[in-house]
Amino acid sequence: MAKLQIRKVGDEALRKVCRPVDAITPRVLTLLDDMVETMRTANGVGLAAPQVGILRRIVVIEVEPGEVIELINPKIIAYSGEQDGQEGCLSVPGRWGMVKRPMHVTVRALNRKGEEFEITGHELLARCFCHELDHLDGGLYIDKAYAMDEDDE
């Protein structure tokens, strides 16, 4: 596995729409593994492929330690409720913003075996699904934030 370079705000890869994954190849499997290692090393809870310069519809999330969720070609198929919360992003270091998101989100995606599945997240996981899937369409949380803070460092 290899730690990948996380792209920062201003990098044009973060503003592009990603292409679907056509086949689960060894390269895709390696990317999933490398993304998990990169996310963990950076102390993140989610990482989307464009954040490491790969314009494919791939996301990894680990809200609960040891419970990695891999999403290939994910799509939000249902959402409900509403929550306000603070978000940060590995691609926007040192900044935090308040963002309104759904409380419950269901995503349909492929797993690493190419099998379709659905997963529903609540609260933080729902927020992560929305945040990471926004990356796949060139969006950043700062586009939706209604208040922003910066670290005092």
**Distance in angstroms (rounded) separating the CA atoms of residues 24 and 27:** 8
Would you say 88 and 148 are in contact if contact means Cβ atoms under 8 Å apart? no
Give me the catalytic one of 115, 132, 150, 153: 132
CA atoms within 13 A on the CB side of 144: 19
Residue 12 is a catalytic residue: no
Tokens representing 72 are 């290939």
Q: H or E element: which one contains 116?
A: strand 116-122
**Distance in angstroms (rounded) separating the CA atoms of residues 87 and 119:** 21
**Distance in angstroms (rounded) separating the CA atoms of residues 126 and 112:** 21
Q: List, by residue number, the catalytic residues.
A: 132
